[in-house]
């Protein structure tokens, strides 16, 4: 995501979870089976964990800044 933002490239997720019908989900060389944020059995992939953690850091940072700016801290 950092790369996309730095280069002003719009990105989106087409699907959230890998799907069985796309072929063997454990074949790392298979096409179009590894773009999603969740595995076929709905566990988060490391990138999803990272993105959630980074998003939460930004939200906490923004909340603290907003509270400071408005005299709440």
pLDDT tens for each residue of the chain, 73 residues long: 677 888 888 876 666 777 777 766 677 666 666 677 888 788 888 888 888 888 878 767 666 666 677 665 5
Instruction: Give the per-residue pLDDT at 53.
Output: 85
Instruction: Give the per-residue pLDDT at 10.
Output: 82
Instruction: Give the per-residue pLDDT at 70.
Output: 66
Instruction: Give the per-residue pLDDT at 73.
Output: 52
Q: In total, how many domains does the chain have?
A: 1
List the domain range (segments joined by +) for residue 53.
2-69
**Per-residue b or e along 21-43, where b marks 16 or more CB atoms closer than 10 Å to that residue's CB:** ebeebeeeeeeebeebbeebeee
């Amino acid at each position: 995501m950092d790369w996309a933002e730095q280069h002003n490239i719009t990105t989106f997720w087409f699907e959230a979870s890998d799907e069985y019908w796309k072929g063997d989900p454990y074949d790392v060389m298979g096409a179009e089976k590894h773009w999603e944020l969740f595995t076929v059995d709905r566990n988060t992939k490391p990138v999803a964990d990272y993105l959630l953690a980074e998003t939460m850091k930004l939200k906490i940072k923004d909340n603290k800044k907003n509270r400071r700016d408005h005299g709440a801290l």
